[in-house]
Amino acid sequence: MKKLSESSFEERLELFFEWAVTAWLLLKDEAGLIAALAAAKTFNRTDRQIIITVLDNLHSEWSQQDSENLFSETIKSLSDLKDIIMAKDWTVEDGVAERERLKMVNPEYAEALANGDPEVFSRKYPNHFIIPLE
C-alpha cells in the first residue's frame, strides 16, 4: 500500500468514503453517513463503481467475521447504503447539496472531503483508523 501522501485525490476520496462508512456503522457517528453520501455523490457515474466495490468489500469482510450474526443489522445497512447510492444517476447539483448538508452537520468532515483528507477520521478516532505509511 502506498503512502497516503502519494495517493491521488480519487484514492484519498475512496478511503474517505470507506472510513466515513466505518465511522457511521461501527462507531455510531451519524455525520459519517452524510460524509459517505457526500463523497459518493462527488464521484461521477463511472467512478461511482469504485464506491460500490468498497461497499461490496466491506460487506464481504464483515460478513466473514460475523459468524454469530451479531452485526446483521450493520451489514444490512451496508446493503441499504449501496441501494441509495445506486438508486439514481446523481447530478453535480445533488453532490453540491449533499456537501452543503455535510457542512451544516459537520464542517470538519466537509472541509476534509473538499481536501481529500481521510485522516479526519484517524484524528477523531485514533484507535480505529490507521494511516497507511508505506
pLDDT digits (tens, 9 = 90+) for 15-62: 999 999 999 998 999 999 999 999 999 888 888 888 999 999 988 888
Indicate if the pLDDT at residue 118 is higher than 60.
yes
How many residues are given for the chain?
Answer: 134
Please count the other Cβ atoms lying within 10 Å of the Cβ belonging to residue 41: 21
Place of cell 464542517: 107
C-beta separation of 21 from 27 below 8 A: no
Q: Which residues, 6 or more positions from 118, have their beta carbon under 8 angstroms from its beta carbon?
A: 4, 12, 13, 15, 16, 18, 19, 112, 129
Which residue has better confidence, 109 or 65? 109
Confidence of residue 133 (pLDDT cuts 50, 70, 90): low
Question: 7 — phi, psi (to 5°)?
Answer: -80, 150
Place of cell 474517505: 16
Choose among 77, 100, 21, 13: nearest CA to 48.
Answer: 13
Amino acid at the residue 89: D
